[in-house]
């Protein structure tokens, strides 16, 4: 990975800073080589994964206005999570949670179809 930093022309301090990023942010930064775009991509990723986890695990049928308020607060909360995700593996944790909930929903659907529930 060291050769990537020489190709991009980064200094040793830049290299140490990028090494301290979470894996997702590091991937986005090395993909775009633009910190602003990398942060926006991280926010979109966290927001999308948080909405997916909410829909798979916690969402209930609500009136439109109540759903809009919930999603507004969810999107706003993801901004705070993005600040934490610069150095912590927040996106990776949401990926694992989404994967577990997807597996749970598939198994639940199969068991309902088989009639065991």
Report whether 51 contacts 74 (CB < 8 A).
Answer: yes
pLDDT at 95: 96
pLDDT at 7: 47
Record the pTM.
0.82
Rounded-to-integer distance, Cα 17 and Cα 110, Å: 47
**Cα–Cα distance list, 44 to 10, 24, 67 (Å):** 26, 12, 19
Which tokens sit at 11?
């200094």
User: Which own/partner pairs from 49-57 qualify as long-range (CB within 8 Å, at least 24 positions apart)?
Assistant: 49/91, 49/94, 49/95, 49/97, 49/98, 50/74, 50/77, 50/78, 50/81, 50/94, 52/98, 53/94, 53/97, 53/98, 53/101, 56/98, 56/101, 56/102, 56/104, 56/105, 57/97, 57/101
Give, for all 117 residues of the chain, the pLDDT tens digit.
444 544 455 667 777 877 888 889 899 998 998 889 999 999 999 999 999 999 999 888 889 999 999 999 999 999 999 999 999 999 999 999 999 999 999 999 999 988 876
pLDDT at 90: 94
DSSP H helices, the chain, are 2-8, 12-19, 23-32, 35-57, 64-84, 90-114
User: Range of 16's domain?
Assistant: 2-114
pLDDT at 115: 83
Q: For the chain, what is the domain count? A: 1
């Amino acid at each position: 990975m060291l050769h990537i930093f020489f190709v991009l022309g980064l200094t040793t301090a830049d290299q140490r800073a990028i090494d301290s990023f979470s894996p997702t942010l590091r991937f986005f930064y090395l993909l775009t080589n633009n910190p602003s775009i990398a942060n926006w991509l991280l926010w979109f990723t966290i927001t999308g994964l948080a909405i997916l986890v909410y829909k798979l695990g916690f969402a209930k049928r609500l009136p439109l206005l109540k759903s809009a308020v919930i999603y507004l607060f969810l999107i706003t909360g993801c901004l705070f999570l993005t600040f934490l995700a610069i150095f912590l593996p927040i996106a990776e944790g949401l990926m694992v949670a989404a994967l577990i909930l997807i597996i749970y929903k598939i198994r639940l659907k199969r068991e309902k179809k088989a009639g065991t529930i």
